[in-house]
Amino acid sequence: MSGRIATVRALAFRGLNEVVRVPGAAIPSLLAPTIFLLGFVSMFGNLTELPGFTSDDFVSFVLPVMMLQGAGFTGAATGVNLARDIEQGWFDRLLASPAPRPVLLAGMIASASVRALLPTSVLLVVAFAIGADYPGVVGLLVALVFVAAFAALAAAWGIVLALRFKTQSAAPLMQAGTFMAVMFTTSYAPLELLTGWLRAVATVNPVTRVIEAVRQGFVTGEVSWALTWPGLVAVAGLGAVLVALALRGMARSGR
């Protein structure tokens, strides 16, 4: 058991090392959510004037979306890194090691969850500086747990695609998947104000529940179980599917 934990830790640290060793590659995913936050607030800040908008502060409303977007891009980067490892043959050596496949997967996913806290930290500092409402300790903790969990989901998605396509050229697909998952929700406006097709998609998109769970503290200042449990169910459901697919991909890779 301790050997397995050590393997997970080693793989997670390897993922974190990339941030230090290749900072140029990490900067875009580190800054992009903050840039998007500032841009969206500048452009769409007046949407709160629409009748029926549930918040009078667009920074607080859109901040959770950008937190999940940052987590999504960080997770997708795990897939890109795995594709690079496959291209360079490092992953084959990893598969030949005595470490069980689920342990290898856990290591990669754990690194994404921890790394996701970097862009989130930058984002939160900037957001509070420009007037985002403080969600309280519990609200912040709930938000961070969901950010880490969503990064894990995005990493699993990236890993599934990396194992399927075995090339870094699949990177846009990994990033586009997480981008759509986060943005095709109540990202810009409450469900009632979304137009046509987006309202239909956002209604069935499980990530909408995750966004609402993260958003509750920032918009209402309170955390309720009624808004939290649907988010937890969404994360668990998506996690079960994506981890199962990733494990299947790993099993096939070894054949």
Q: Cα dist. 211→85, 106, 109, 188 in Å?
A: 32, 24, 20, 11
Q: How far is the CB of 247 from another protein (least distance, A)?
A: 27
Task: With contacts defined by CB under 8 A, name the span among 119-127, 152-160, 180-188, 226-234 that binds another protein.
Answer: 180-188
- Angle (CA) 189-197-229 rounded to 5° is 55
# residues near another protein by CB under 8 A:
41
Identity of the amino acid at 224: S
Q: Which residue in 19, 68, 110, 194 binds another protein (CB under 8 A)? A: 194
Closest to another protein by CB, 51 vs 89, is 51
Q: Which residue in 189, 213, 234, 238 binds another protein (CB under 8 A)? A: 189
Question: Quick check: helix, strand or coil at residue 63?
Answer: helix
Q: Which residue in 16, 38, 117, 233 binds another protein (CB under 8 A)? A: 38
Q: How far is the CB of 119 from another protein (least distance, A)?
A: 11
Q: How far is the CB of 66 from another protein (least distance, A)?
A: 12
Closest to another protein by CB, 102 vs 165, is 165
- Angle (CA) 73-79-81 rounded to 5° is 100
Cα separation, 111 vs 136, whole angstroms: 27
Q: Which residue in 3, 39, 221, 237 binds another protein (CB under 8 A)? A: 39
Overall residue count recorded for the chain in this entry: 255
Q: Which of 15, 2, 236 is nearest to 108 (CA)?
A: 15
Interacting residues with another protein between 46 and 65 (CB under 8 A)? 46-47, 49-50
Q: How far is the CB of 198 from another protein (least distance, A)?
A: 3
Per the CB < 8 A criterion, the answer to whether 228 and 216 are in contact is yes
To which residue do tokens 């988010």 refer? 231
Interacting residues with another protein between 103 and 162 (CB under 8 A)? none
Cα separation, 14 vs 61, whole angstroms: 35
Interface ranges with another protein (CB under 8 A): 24-25, 27-28, 31-32, 35-36, 38-47, 49-50, 168-169, 171-173, 176, 179-180, 183-184, 187-189, 193-199, 201
